[in-house]
Amino acid sequence: MDEEALVIDPWGSAQSTDYDRIIQQFGLTSLEGRSLPNPTKLHRRGIVFAHRDVEQILEARRTGLPFGVLTGLMPSGQMHLGHSMVVEQAKWFQGLGGDVTIAVADLESQATRGVSLAKGREVALEEYVSHYAALGLNPEKTNVYFQSTRPVVQRLGFQLGKRTNLTEFEAIYGFNGETNLAHVQAPLVQVGDILHPQLDDFGGLRPIVVPVGVDQDPHLRLTRGLAAKTNWFNIKASSSSGLLVSLSVHDENADVFGQLPNGRVDREKVANVFSMVVEIAVGLGFSDIVSSPKQGHVHIPSATSRDKHALQFALLNLERRLGGMGLLAPSSTYHHFAVGMTGSKMSSSQPKTTLFLRDDLAAVEKKIKRAFSGGQATVEEHRRLGGNPDIDVAYQYMMYFFEENDAFLAELNSSFRSGTLLAGEMKQHCIEAASQWMTNLHEMRDQTAHLVPEFLASDSR
Ligand code: TRP
């Protein structure tokens, strides 16, 4: 077995589909067996398969606290079916009460794909936002903005760049000396995308979830690491019991934390900060609180890991009052990639591998008829041996995109496997479902076209 570490390259064309290994190596949490409120077909079918910290989102929803969703689109080329998966998830989170922010990655698209900003804007509106509207996102709870016209996004990226270096980029992205610097800047801008919705001017401190394909996880690892490195207060489990809060001294807070330039400590300032931390613990209902400025921590013996979110939240607010950024690491969810129609990777630059949302029904039918099949070479063999729905594109596309009915899908699966359903028949089912789906999408696109401007944030109109 190949024991070499996987590197996920968000710009590359190779994609690992060894999802178990991805979960393991990058420390994602599997969603298998986790029941979710009002799940979409992507959740019910295990297509959305893993997450980081999604519990903090579900907890916000349970307790009626605000949370946000942030995702991004690359405005190059046409929108295809694969892109619709993120929209379906954003819509789901929106239904659970989240506000949605969408980054148009026009800077990234310009730097890495040579798309001008003007062209990027046009593509974003005509290809993407018009379909987001058609797919049912609510314009009143969605804000689309452009990386190029939201300075705070770039500023955040710049500020946080200070807390990472090329060695880390090498480890995360596999960069080397030949790497174009646009690829160094793009992740930092994406860090700004992901973190800025929690700034006071953009909705304030609240958990943010980022639904993405697993190819984007490197950006999330980077962002979560950077957010944590800026934090002024650390929380960890005490070796005895409960939680420990300690200070994390940086240039930005050395003065507030009473760390004098000559290396001495202003005890009064330290005592003041510790009393603020104690006050927070009291505010959360704890009474047994041991403050030890000398040892550098506040110990809350009866706090459990379940209190961690609330404590962290209050400490981030305190950090903001004291002048820090107070950034909460984002949550994320990951989906599997649908196979390309030819059986290889789905790619906008290879039209035969995917259905574009503007394809007409004739093109849809033609592509499905030619799609890679999981059936046997002859009808006789198929009847005898059965087919393999796991690699049958027509089946896969019904599962990922076109068929809402789980029972019907299960029936197709087992009859294909047993050989009673032929490959051509599976394709016919898929053509019917796809035609209906596309017809509906195109109708909705006409009906919602007038809403497109309403999706744009006020700084992006
Ligand atoms: N890099 C993403 C892509 O290639 C686009 C993107 C930009 C994005 N900013 C984002 C995705 C923030 C998720 C979150 O498609």
Chain centroid to Cα 363, Å, comes to 31
Mutation test of ligand 1: which of 193, 217, 224, 347 has the most ligand atoms closer than 8 Å to its C-beta? 193
Residue with tokens 């379940």: 306
Q: What is the pLDDT of residues 240-296, one digit of tens each?
A: 999 999 999 999 999 999 999 998 999 999 999 999 999 999 999 999 999 999 999
Q: What is the pLDDT of residue 94?
A: 98
Q: Is 359 in the pocket of ligand 1 (CB under 6 A)?
A: no
Residue with tokens 């393999």: 388
**SS3 of residue 49 by DSSP:** strand
Q: Is 102 in the pocket of ligand 1 (CB under 6 A)?
A: no
Q: What is the pLDDT of residue 39?
A: 98
Q: Is 106 in the pocket of ligand 1 (CB under 6 A)?
A: no
| Range 5-30 burial, b when 16+ CB lie within 10 A, else e | eebbebeeeeeeeebeebbeebebee
What is the token pair recorded at 56? 């903090």
- Whether pTM > 0.85 for this model: the answer is yes
Q: What is the pLDDT of residue 1?
A: 45
How far apart CA 260 and CA 258 sit, in angstroms, is 6
DSSP characters over 159-214: HHHTT--HHHHHHHH---TT--THHHHHHHHHHHHHHGGGSGGGT-S--EEEEEEG
How far apart CA 291 and CA 297 sit, in angstroms, is 6
72 CA distance to ligand 1 centroid (A)? 4
Q: What is the pLDDT of residue 3?
A: 59
Q: Is 190 in the pocket of ligand 1 (CB under 6 A)?
A: yes
User: Of 408, 400, 406, 407, which is closest to residue 429 (Cα–Cα)?
Assistant: 408
Residues of the chain with pLDDT under 50: 1
User: Of 110, 109, 114, 93, which is closest to residue 39 (Cα–Cα)?
Assistant: 93
Q: What is the pLDDT of residue 13?
A: 67
**177: how many CB neighbours lie within 10 A of its CB?**
6
Q: What is the pLDDT of residues 196-225, one digit of tens each?
A: 999 999 999 999 999 999 989 999 999 999
219 CA distance to ligand 1 centroid (A)? 9
CB-CB contact of 53 with 329 (8 Å): yes
Q: What is the pLDDT of residue 404?
A: 98
Mutation test of ligand 1: which of 219, 221, 349 has the most ligand atoms closer than 8 Å to its C-beta? 219
Q: Is 69 in the pocket of ligand 1 (CB under 6 A)?
A: no
Burial class (CB in 10 A: 0-12, 13-18, 19+), 190: buried
184 CA distance to ligand 1 centroid (A)? 14
